[in-house]
Amino acid sequence: MRNLVIAIGLLIGLSSCKSCTSTYASRKTGVQKVCPKCIYINSEMMDIAVDTTEQPNIIYKVIFKAGGVYYTASDVEQLVKIQ
């Protein structure tokens, strides 16, 4: 019974943690840490970063980390070049 109570408490704690969720502003800040000159766009359920310093502009698909104890959901895990 004690283990069940601990497991339920842990699940509630993890589901409500702020590091597991992120807002548009925090994700924009996360992208600009990796690519300072990039513009962050969230379009059609896809996170996109556009590097406007290059001609033609370079477009990246942004993959964020899931969030957790050591990092937040706004930290960028990978930039995948689309174009």
The single-letter DSSP state of residue 53 is: T
Domain ranges in the chain are 2-81
SS3 11: helix
* One pLDDT digit (tens) per residue for the chain, 83 residues: 788 888 777 666 666 666 777 888 999 999 999 999 999 999 888 999 999 888 899 999 999 988 777 888 888 999 999 86
Distance of alpha carbon 76 from alpha carbon 52, whole angstroms: 19
- The pTM of the whole model exceeds 0.75: no
- Amino acid found at 63: I
Looking at residue 57, the DSSP 8-state letter turns out to be: P
Contact yes or no for 57/44 (Cβ under 8 A): no
Amino acid at 3: N
**pLDDT value at residue 49:** 94
